[in-house]
Structure 1
Amino acid sequence: MDNTDNLFHPSLAAALMKLDPEDGEQIMEYFKTHALLTREKALLQASVREQKKLLVENAKLKKDIDQLKVQLQDKQRRRTAKALLSPPPPTLSPAPTTPVNQPSSPAGATASVPSSPPPPSSSSYDRRERQSRRRRGERKARPTSDSLSLEAEPRIDVSRLDLRVGRILSIRRHPLAETMSIQEVDVGENAPRMVVSKLGGKTHLEQLQGSLAVLLCNVKACKLRGVVSQARILCCSTPNDCIEPLAPPTGSAPGDRVTFLNYPGEPDRELQSKHRVWELLQPDLQVDCRGVANYKGCGFEVKGKGLCRAPSLTSCIIR
């Protein structure tokens, strides 16, 4: 017997057959099919809800794993630095050697001359002094060289920036600042990022909704007038405060990386404020006379799709 037969009481089937002997069986088949489809729909909805729940849990676990990796790397760096900066253990100076060839005293001289320890020779004293000076010199020189190697800055170029294409899903003015706005931007992740920018004063915000932009995604999240900003929209601006966001090439999609041909390399996981990477790179981020965004003459490129440009401005800075 089909499982759908359990959904209907036998008396219902008998009643239908009595009322309509010709079509009663077809009506029962219709009811059974409808009930089966309803059950399958409920199972499918439950499966979709479970899948969404698993996706959220996987994203949380991935974030926890990344945080644990960072903590482990920090502990390893501190342990290495402590081992390098600790002073070396002091070495024991050799005991003074007694002269082998001693003049033999004449017979009977022992009773008349009192015995006394021989004075330290000048050669052994000089040797100990040189060893002591050498040890002091090593203690001073080693920490200096180690500290220089630890404080050596990594490369400072545009490859350390995590630049991605994003789509502005919504935009509104900041309630506490007239010259600022709040955007929700899709950068190819599970959830959109909240971004606070200076696209407010002279910008027609309604024209930006749904458009593409270039975002700096590895900046540290910070609060701007009470709203947490999780990325930075790159804009070109002129001295008279004309501001417009950079436009990715046609065919770009949210999450596409913006790279530089002459500066390969992987970006930092998060830009540290103490290194001031963005501040050091910003003077070399410009829009040329053709409207192409570049770093030291090397264009902002989405591989296989083209270069990023300013919509209308030329010969201006990027910030």
Structure 2
Amino acid sequence: MDNMDNIFDPSFAATLMKLDPEDGPQFVEYFRTHAMLSKEKAQLQASVRDQKKLLVENGKLKKDIEQLRTQLQDKQKRRTAKALFSPAPPPTTASPTPNTPVNQSRSPAGATAAVPNISHPPSSQDRRDRQNRRKRGDRKARPSSDSLSLGAEPRVDASRLDLRVGRILSVRRHPLAETMSVQEVDVGENAPRTVVSKLGATTNLEELQGVLAVLLCNVKACKLRGVASKARLLVCSASEGDCTERLAPPPGSEPGDRVTFLNYPGEPDKELQAKQRIWEILQPDLQVDSKGVANYKGCGFEVKGKGLCRAPSLTNCNIK
């Protein structure tokens, strides 16, 4: 750009006028206009680059703020649960003073006489009294196991489910069960997962090949009729009849996309423990509403930036 500015030196203009007195002014004006346009183009390109850089930085800042907000909410929940369910400190008992000997009583004259510490065997009346108290239920209260379990695991909501979008690569009938099918599903990992599902005998398996579905990926692997299943395919089931269909992710979803809930932030469990029965507790609240949108307690199944998960045709039904 500096070279373009230099061509408009008075000497350059004078030389150009001498070479072509008739068209010299037009050449000078052309070069001046070309230099000005080139300068404006360079400035515009620099402005676009700066704008793109700012957009990328803003996206990173929003992501960091969201992660910090989630961490603060989790810490607040743990702090509240710890304050509610932490056991109370044991009562302190007064210890005897060093100047007062144990098992001594003071006589009226001021002298101390040792009182022998003799333990008497419990009489038959004492034994009968204890037995009667046991029958009436007069026993020492034991700490409730519910409070202990709540203190250890205060959060029981849909955020503990590792729900992901998966693509069904292949599907076939289960060799030992007519109502079951076996799918190979890509959930964004290095290798596909084998999934055994109960889709009903009337389901057209050929229509499922290549489509997207929603899968629960942190269930413990188990064998169903001899075939190991490493995830759970979520389906919608009508209350009447044997009509079932897969839960469909929003358009534009890719294998491995997380399905989250706006009102229930948090990271899912690495693996759902069978003893805690998390899936069994949450499953009754997983519903498809009258508009066909999948939700948990009114909060939609969402793939961030892409939309909500829906049932292809069913409404007002359960998700299982």
Output the TM-score relative to the length of structure 1: 0.58
User: Once superposed, which parts of structure 1, at least 4 consecutive aligned residues long, lie more than 3 Å away?
Assistant: 91-95, 97-105, 116-121, 147-150
Q: Which residue of 2 is the match for residue 218 of structure 1?
A: 218
CA displacement at 1:282 relative to structure 2: 1.0
Contact 1:169–1:184 (CA under 8 A) maintained in structure 2: yes
Q: Which residue of 2 is the match for residue 295 of structure 1?
A: 296
Aligned letter for 1:184? E
Identity of aligned residues (%): 73
C-alpha distance after superposition, 1:223-251 (max 9, x if no partner): 00000000000000112110110110000
Alignment length, in residue pairs?
203
Aligned letter for 1:291? G
CA displacement at 1:281 relative to structure 2: 1.0
Aligned letter for 2:317? C
Q: 1:150 aligns with which of 145, 148, 151?
A: 148
Tell me how large the CA RMSD over aligned residues is: 3.1
Q: Could you tell me how far apart the structure 1 residues matched to 2:224 and 2:273 are?
A: 18
Q: Could you tell me how far apart the structure 2 residues matched to 1:283 and 1:267 are?
A: 19
Aligned letter for 1:254? P
Q: Which residue of 2 is the match for residue 103 of structure 1?
A: 109
Q: Which residue of 2 is the match for residue 168 of structure 1?
A: 168
C-alpha distance after superposition, 1:171-218 (max 9, x if no partner): 000000000000000000111000000124111100110000000001
CA displacement at 1:297 relative to structure 2: 1.1
Contact 2:250–2:307 (CA under 8 A) maintained in structure 1: yes
> Structure 1 residues 98 and 190 mapped into 2: Cα distance closer, same or farther (>3 Å)?
same
Aligned letter for 1:150? L
Aligned-partner SS, 2:189? coil
Aligned letter for 1:253? E
CA displacement at 1:92 relative to structure 2: 11
The unaligned stretches of length 5 or more in structure 1 are 1-83, 106-115, 122-139
Contact 1:173–1:200 (CA under 8 A) maintained in structure 2: no
C-alpha distance after superposition, 1:99-146 (max 9, x if no partner): 6787399xxxxxxxxxx954479xxxxxxxxxxxxxxxxxx67x727x
Q: Which residue of 2 is the match for residue 178 of structure 1?
A: 178
Q: Could you tell me how far apart the structure 2 residues matched to 1:104 and 1:245 are?
A: 92
Q: Could you tell me how far apart the structure 2 residues matched to 1:104 and 1:182 are?
A: 93
The unaligned stretches of length 5 or more in structure 2 are 1-85, 118-139
Aligned letter for 2:194? M
